[in-house]
Homo-oligomer: A and B are copies of this chain.
């Protein structure tokens, strides 16, 4: 994994730094989750020795870089901070469902999404961008809670 980072960076004449390695490790340890830049910053701070924190600006810059070289997928959100997830070879790029109550993010089934995307382009000529579907609503867990309160 750090290996892959090395390769990708060298390809573009970029340098391997402790900051970039540390950020990648955090992303790897949180694989499957969708992290805000701030989360990553805090996790890094928790891991670092006294007084040697990685700057927040560096985290922002690194996420931008990691997206450019194809290591992470950025998930822009309406009114909320963007989130990032490590791109895994075992899982395709996908679209998301975002709960307005608890903030959880789940993935939309690939076949379902693909089918919808095809219908849209057939009907309107509009080409849906990869992973650009972010659909807001209420997850099953939050809906249950509402039901139980009654």
Contacts and interface: CB of A to CB of B under 8 A. Distances in A.
Count of chain copies:
2
A125 B112 contact: no
A125 to B, nearest CB: 3
A2 interface: no
Contacts of A139: 125-126
Interface stretch (A3-11, A31-39, A116-124): A116-124
A137 B78 CA distance: 16
- Chain A interface size, as a band, is 20 to 34
Q: Is chain A's binding surface mostly helix, strand, loop or mixed?
A: mixed
B106 A129 contact: no
Contacts of A134: 78, 134
Given A119-B112, A137-B129, A124 B143 contact: no
B123 A128 contact: no
A137 B128 contact: yes
Contacts of A77: 78
A140 B125 contact: yes
A112 B119 CA distance: 8
Contacts of A133: 133, 135
22 contacts: A76-B79, A99-B126, A106-B126, A108-B120, A109-B123, A112-B119, A112-B123, A120-B135, A124-B140, A125-B139, A125-B143, A126-B135, A126-B137, A126-B138, A126-B140, A127-B137, A127-B138, A128-B136, A128-B137, A132-B135, A132-B137, A133-B135
